[in-house]
Amino acid sequence: MGKLHVVDHPLVAHKMTIIRNKHTSVKDFRELVSEIGMLITYEATRDLRLTTKVIETPLCKTEQPTLAGKKIAVCPILRAGLGLVDGVLRMVPSARVAHIGMYRDEETLEPHTYFCKTPKDIADRDIIIVDPMLATGGSAAAAIDEMKKRGCKNIKLLVLVAAPEGVKRIQESHPDVDIYAGALDECLNEHGYIVPGLGDAGDRIFGTK
Ligand code: PRP
Ligand code: URA
């Protein structure tokens, strides 16, 4: 079964409280989503392999660690996932970006895919799917399906807030995928929103409400 890693760090906890607050401005919300994304990426990349290379400091030659060069793609689920891309790229600047457009039907809560554009060599890359919210898990599960259809094997899911229902769904449908989250919340309400959550992530990032 895939593991759930809830990032246990005071900076993440503090910033999560600010974005949950309904009085936080669009500007602050957007900036903090990016910052928290960066901090969760730090945890999600903990298993990246290292090799060594010889460099010269001002004092001497020395053999030092460097990333082994495994290729990564960050894959935002549009729209709200876009808010996390910048944070991941600040940590992993060489990563490519694969976009998946998906929206959740407000009545049925079923995800609908409307766009998917990936780098040509996506099957050779480690994938970090990003979306602020893991609610029922329908959108994330469908995004993982899309990436697996394209041959991707090593997939991680990075979210800000996870609901137990969404975690269960991913662990059951994609047991090979680990989840990295800023917080694990209590439950979903009758409209499929995470409680206490932070509301509609896309609307809060883009100011569309
Ligand atoms: C939100 C969120 C996730 C999805 C989570 O997107 O960003 O993609 O809902 O819900 P689920 O786990 O039940 O599938 P939404 O469909 O509102 O689209 P948006 O990003 O365009 O706002
Ligand atoms: N999508 C959101 O943006 N927020 C939720 O709480 C659930 C789904």
Ligand 1 geometric centre to CA of 133 (Å):
7
For residues 4 and 40, is the Cβ–Cβ distance under 8 A? no
| Residue pLDDT tens, the chain, 209 long | 899 999 999 999 999 999 999 999 999 999 999 999 999 999 999 999 999 999 999 999 999 999 997 799 999 999 999 999 999 999 999 999 999 999 989 899 999 999 999 999 999 999 999 999 999 999 999 999 999 999 999 999 999 999 999 999 999 999 999 999 999 999 999 999 999 999 999 999 999 98
What pTM does this model have?
A: 0.96
- ∠ CA 132-46-57, nearest 5°, is 125
153: which residues sit within 8 A by CB, 6+ positions away? Answer: 123
Residues with CB under 6 A from ligand 1: 77, 79-80, 102-104, 109, 111, 131-140, 166, 192, 200-202
Beta strands in 57-196 (DSSP E): 61-67, 72-78, 96-97, 99-104, 111-117, 126-130, 133-134, 155-162, 178-184, 187-188, 194-195
